[in-house]
């Protein structure tokens, strides 16, 4: 008993140290968002934003372009996440629960697609979107993002589906449940953490993507948040880069992601998982 309490304290301490290390840059971003630019350039770091102000955040949040970029990013990203999870989930089911002709090739193709670097594709993607008239359209960008995210998501979900033995479903079916009900009641909750992880990954990819958005969303009013953020990181004839504003803008860009995770995490807690396994 003693040993495990000591062990528990040790582990907790370790967890806290790791948490501090990992969250430090985020803390610094927040700290900088409150400080004026000149202070940030100094040779002595300022750790706490005393004497700081909400000026940066206010200037950035009241920028009308922010609201617009936020809306576009939300539309593109949510569309991408929903579409990707649905499509990828079906695909993952197919390749891990069934055997069919062409499965091997499909799986291989998924893998190969991911191995091709995306940086060289933007020229062709532009031409394609331009000829389809989908430039500056949220739906066009969402399609490109979904396609970029699906191969990996299928792979990831496949791992989770494979980790849930089909025997559990079989056992439930022996107990009288239909295959679908067995799936929904037993397997699906066990996949919840995997779906969450995939959803968060898809969200982040779409939310933070830059290069494709740069060439597809050519007009100012169709900019996504990363493009909008870019506008702050610019020195010009009349001003140098205001890093305080860059950090404030970055903070605002990061906030929706955090909200998303908290929402998703709340819905699918491991309490569900524990329950399904024990039951």
Partner 1 sequence: MTTGTTTAPTAPSAAPPQHRNRKRTNRLPLILIVPALVLLVAALGYPIGWQVVTSFREYGLLQQFGAPAPFVGLDNYVALVTDPYTWTVVVRSIVFCVVTAVVTVAIGGAMAVLMNALTTWPRVVLQVALLLAWAMPVVAAMTVWIWIVDWRRGLLNWSLVRLGVDGAEGHNWLAEPLSFFVVASVIIVWMSVPFVALSIYAGLTQVSTEVLEAAELDGATGIQRLRHIIVPIIAPVLSIVMLLQLIWDLRVFTQIKLLQDAGGVTNETNLLGTYVYQLGTGKGDFGTASAVSILILVLTIALSGYYVRSLMKEDV
Partner 2 sequence: MIRRLPIVALTSAALVLTACANGGDSSDAPAATSSTSNAGKTITLWLAGGDTPDELRTYLSDTFKAKTGATLKIEEQAWPDLVTKLTTSLPDAENTPDVVELGNTQSPTFTNVGAFLDISDQYDALGGSKLLQSFVDAGSVDGKKYALPYYFGSRYLFMRNDVWKEAGVNTPTTLDEFNAAVTKVAQGNPRHIKNFSGFFIGGQDWRNGISWIFANGGDLAKKENGQWVSTLSDPSSLKGLQQLQLIQKAASNAPADAKDQTPWLYINDADVITDADGKATGKTSLAAATIMAPGWAHWSIGDAAKKDGKVVREWNPEKFGTFVLPGNDGKPAPVFAGGSNIAISATSKNPELSKELMKIIFSEEYQKKLGGAGLGPANSDYVSSLGDDEFAKALIDSASNSKLTPAAPGWAAVEASMVLEEFFGKIEGATDLAALAKAYDAKITPMLNGK
Report the C-alpha gap between 102 and 178 in whole angstroms: 28
Report the C-alpha gap between 93 and 102 in whole angstroms: 15
User: Which residues in the chain belong to E strands, given as ranges?
Assistant: none
Picked from partner 1, partner 2, none, the partner binding residue 15 (CB below 5 to 8 A depending on kind) is partner 1
Tokens of 46: 């300022």
- Closer residue to partner 1, CB minimum distance, 90 or 184: 90
Residues 225-254 that bind partner 1 (CB under 8 A): 226, 229-230, 233, 243, 246-247, 250-251, 253-254
Q: Produce one character per residue of 155-179: b if its CB has 16 or more CB atoms within 10 Å, e if not.
A: bbbbebbeebeeebbeebeeeebee
45: left (phi over 0), alpha (psi -120 to 50) or beta: beta
Residues 212-241 that bind partner 2 (CB under 8 A): 214-215, 218-220, 230-231, 233-240
Residues 186-215 that bind partner 2 (CB under 8 A): 211, 214-215
Interacting residues of 107 by C-beta distance below 8 A, sequence separation 6+ = 95
- Closer residue to partner 2, CB minimum distance, 114 or 218: 218
Binding mask 40-69 for partner 1 (x = CB under 8 A): -xxxxx------------------------
Question: What's the min distance (Å) between Cβ of 249 and partner 1?
Answer: 8
Residues 164-183 that bind partner 1 (CB under 8 A): 164-167, 170
User: Binding to partner 2 by residue 58, rule CB under 8 A?
Assistant: no
Report the C-alpha gap between 279 and 113 in whole angstroms: 40
Identify the three-state secondary structure at position 237: coil
Question: What's the min distance (Å) between Cβ of 38 and partner 2?
Answer: 4
Question: What's the min distance (Å) between Cβ of 95 and partner 1?
Answer: 7
User: Binding to partner 1 by residue 123, rule CB under 8 A?
Assistant: yes
Residues 27-56 that bind partner 2 (CB under 8 A): 36-39, 41-44, 53, 55
Among 70, 76, 150, 217, contact with partner 1 (rule: CB under 8 A): 150
The position carrying tokens 């300022």 is: 46
Q: Taking contact as CB under 8 A, which single stretch among the options 79-87, 125-133, 152-160, 176-184 is the one that binds partner 2?
A: 125-133
Report the C-alpha gap between 114 and 122 in whole angstroms: 15
Report the C-alpha gap between 54 and 247 in whole angstroms: 12
User: Binding to partner 2 by residue 134, rule CB under 8 A?
Assistant: no
Exposure of 276 in the CB half-sphere (CA atoms within 13 A): 22
Binding site for partner 2 (CB under 8 A): 36-39, 41-44, 53, 55, 122-123, 126-127, 130, 135, 211, 214-215, 218-220, 230-231, 233-240
């Amino acid at each position: 008993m003693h040993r495990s309490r000591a062990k528990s304290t040790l582990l907790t301490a370790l967890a806290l140290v790791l948490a501090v290390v990992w969250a430090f840059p985020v803390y610094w971003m927040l700290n900088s968002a409150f400080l004026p630019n000149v202070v940030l350039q100094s040779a002595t770091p300022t750790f706490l934003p005393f004497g700081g102000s909400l000026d940066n955040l206010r200037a950035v949040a009241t920028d009308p372009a922010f609201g617009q970029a936020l809306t576009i990013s939300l539309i593109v990203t949510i569309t991408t996440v929903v579409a990707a999870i649905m499509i990828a989930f079906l695909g993952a089911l197919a390749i891990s629960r069934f055997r069919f002709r062409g499965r091997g090739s499909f799986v291989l193709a998924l893998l190969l697609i991911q191995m091709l670097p995306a940086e060289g594709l933007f020229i062709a993607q532009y031409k394609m979107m331009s000829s389809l008239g989908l430039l500056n359209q949220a739906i066009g960008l969402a399609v490109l993002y979904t396609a970029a995210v699906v191969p990996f998501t299928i792979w990831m979900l496949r791992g989770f589906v494979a980790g849930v033995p089909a025997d559990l479903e079989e056992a439930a079916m022996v107990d009288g449940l239909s295959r679908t009900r067995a799936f929904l009641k037993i397997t699906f909750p066990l996949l919840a953490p995997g779906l969450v992880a995939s959803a968060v990954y898809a969200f982040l990819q779409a939310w933070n993507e830059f290069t494709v958005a740069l060439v597809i969303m050519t007009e100012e009013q169709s900019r996504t948040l990363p493009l909008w953020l870019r506008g702050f990181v610019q020195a010009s004839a009349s001003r140098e880069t205001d890093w305080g504003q860059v950090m404030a803008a970055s903070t605002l860009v990061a906030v929706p992601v955090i909200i998303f995770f908290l929402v998703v995490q709340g819905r699918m807690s491991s309490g569900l998982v524990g329950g399904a396994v024990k039951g």
